[in-house]
Structure 1
Amino acid sequence: MGPAGPVAVPVVLAAVLVLISWQVAVDGPLLGVDRWVRHAVRETRHELHSTVLNHLGKALSDLGSSVPAIPVLLAAGVLAAWRSRRAGVPRWWFPAVTAVLTAGLIPLLVVPAKAWFARPGPFGAPLAPDQWGWYPSGHTATATLAYGVAALLPARTVGARAGRRLYAAAALLAAGVGLGLVWSDYHWLLDVVASWCLGGLVLRALARVPPPRTDRGS
C-alpha cells in the first residue's frame, strides 16, 4: 500500500515533529536553520529577480488554501465512493465519509498548535491579538492531508500503476506548496517540515485502515 511504507517511517516522522516542536517552544538552536534558509532564499530571489519564479511560488502556495484543496479532497471521496458502489462494496460510502472527516480534522490539528506555539512569521513582526501564529504551516498541512487523502481514496479503486501515479502527484503537490511558502517568505522552513511530518503520520494511519471489501470478498 503506497503511503503505508516501512515501520520506521512513522517513527522518523514523529521524532522529527517532536524535535522541531520542542525547538520552537524553547527557541532552540535548531531554529538557526530557519534563519539561514530564509537569508539564502532572499539572496537567491534577489539575485535571480525572476518574476516568473515569484509568481510560481505564490501560485504553489495558494494550492495549500482551503480552496482548491478541500474541494479536491471531497470530489475524490465522492469519486471513490461512486467507484466502490459500482464494484458492489457494501460500505461504498466509506470514502466520502473519510474525505469529510479529513476536511474537519485539518483545522483541529493545526489551529490549536498555532495558538499554543504562537510563533512569529519570517518577517519578525510580533503577533497581533487576533493571530494564531505560524507554527505549524496550515497551508502545508492542508495540502499534505487533502491531496494525500484525495490520492489514497481513489487509489484503492484503481490499478497499482494508477495508484502510484496518484501518490506521486499528491507528494509533488505537497512538496510544491511547502517550497512555494518558503520561497515566497510566507513561512519558516521548519514550519513546513513539521506539517509534512504531521500530515505523513495521519496518512500513514489512514493507509493502514483496510478498505471495505465487496460481497465477493475481493
Structure 2
Amino acid sequence: MDGPLLGPDERLGTAIRTSAIPAGPAEFFADLGNMTVALPVLALTLAYVTWRTRHWLAAVTAIVTMALVPALVAPLQSWLARPGPPPMAPETGFYPSGHTATAAVAYGLCVLLLREAHRARAAAYGCVVVNAAVGLGLVRQGYHWPVDVIGSWCLAALLLYCAAYAISRSTRRSSSGTPSC
C-alpha cells in the first residue's frame, strides 16, 4: 500500500496507540462497534419508536440501511486488502472499519428514529461523542488505522443521509393522511 495519506496515517495511528489514553475505556468504546452491542441497541430503538409512532416504513428503512453495512464493507475490505496496524499486521482487510461503520450507522439510525418520535437533539450530540470514542478506541487498541475509521464515517454518512431522506418522506406521507405501511 502506498499513497500520500499513508505516512501521516501511520504516524497519527502510532501516536494514538502509544498515548496515555487508558486501555480499559478504549476497549470499552471499541466494543461498542461490535454487532453484538450495536444491533440490540438499534433493535430496542426500532421497537420503541415503531410502537410509539406506528410508522413501519421507518423501521424497514432502518433495517435495510443496517443490512447494507456488511454488504458494502466486506467486499470493500476484501478488494482493498489494506493491512492492519502492527498488532494485526500482516492480516489484511482493515479498510473501511466494519466496527466503525456498524457503530456509526446503528447509533445514527437510533438518532434518526428518535428524532422523528421526540425531536431529541441531545441524542444527536451523544451519537457524535460515542462514535468519536469508538473510532478513537479502535485506533488506540491497535485494531485500525485512523483512515480506516474516517473512511467508515464517510460511508456511514452516505447511508444515514439516504436513510434520513427515506424516513422523513415516509413520516411525511403518513402524517398527511396517506396510508403508511
TM above 0.5, one fold? yes
Verify the 8 A CA contact 1:79 1:154 in the aligned structure 2: no
Q: Which residue number corresponds to residue 2 of structure 2? A: 27
Q: Which of 181, 196, 199 is equivalent to 2:138?
A: 181
Instruction: Give the distance between the partners of 1:194 and 1:216, measured in 2 at CA.
Output: 40
What is the TM-score of this pair, normalised by structure 1?
A: 0.73
Alpha-carbon distance, 1:216 to partner: 5.1
Instruction: Give the distance between the partners of 2:34 and 2:84, measured in 1 at CA.
Output: 18
Alpha-carbon distance, 1:140 to partner: 0.4
Is 1:214 matched with 2:171? no
Give the alignment's Cα RMSD to 1 decimal. Answer: 1.8
Verify the 8 A CA contact 1:77 1:98 in the aligned structure 2: no
Q: Which residue type is aligned with residue 169 of structure 1?
A: G
Verify the 8 A CA contact 1:77 1:153 in the aligned structure 2: yes
Q: Which residue number corresponds to residue 149 of structure 1? A: 109
Q: Deviations over 1:175-198 (max 9, x none)?
A: 110010111111000000110111
Q: Which residue type is aligned with residue 4 of structure 2?
A: P
Structure 2 unaligned regions, length at least 5: none
Q: Which residue number corresponds to residue 167 of structure 1? A: 124
| Structure 2 CA distance for partners of 1:125 and 1:75, relative to 1, 3 Å | same
Structure 1 unaligned regions, length at least 5: 1-25, 86-91
Q: Which residue number corresponds to residue 68 of structure 1? A: 37
Q: Which residue number corresponds to residue 12 of structure 2? A: 37
Is 1:97 matched with 2:60? yes
Instruction: Give the distance between the partners of 1:185 and 1:108, measured in 2 at CA.
Output: 24
Q: Which of 190, 197, 201 is equivalent to 2:154?
A: 197
Say which is worse superposed, 104-113 or 150-159, in terms of deviation. 150-159
Among the aligned pairs, what percent are the same residue? 42
Q: Which residue type is aligned with residue 134 of structure 2?
A: V
Instruction: Give the distance between the partners of 1:95 and 1:84, measured in 2 at CA.
Output: 10
Superposition misfits of 4+ residues, deviation over 4 angstroms: none
Instruction: Give the distance between the partners of 2:159 and 2:65, measured in 1 at CA.
Output: 9
Instruction: Give the distance between the partners of 1:176 and 1:83, measured in 2 at CA.
Output: 30
Instruction: Give the distance between the partners of 1:104 and 1:120, measured in 2 at CA.
Output: 25
Instruction: Give the distance between the partners of 1:185 and 1:125, measured in 2 at CA.
Output: 10
Verify the 8 A CA contact 1:76 1:151 in the aligned structure 2: no
Alpha-carbon distance, 1:68 to partner: 0.9
Verify the 8 A CA contact 1:74 1:96 in the aligned structure 2: no
Instruction: Give 3-state SS (helix, strand or coil) of 1:186's partner.
Output: coil
Q: Which residue number corresponds to residue 56 of structure 1? A: 25
Q: Which has the larger radius of gyration?
A: 1
Structure in which a larger fraction of residues adopt helix = 2
Q: Deviations over 1:67-122 (max 9, x none)?
A: 1101111221121111112xxxxxx2123212321231110111000000011100
Instruction: Give 3-state SS (helix, strand or coil) of 1:176's partner.
Output: helix
Q: Deviations over 1:32-87 (max 9, x none)?
A: 1111112322442xxx4x7xx110001100000001101111221121111112xx
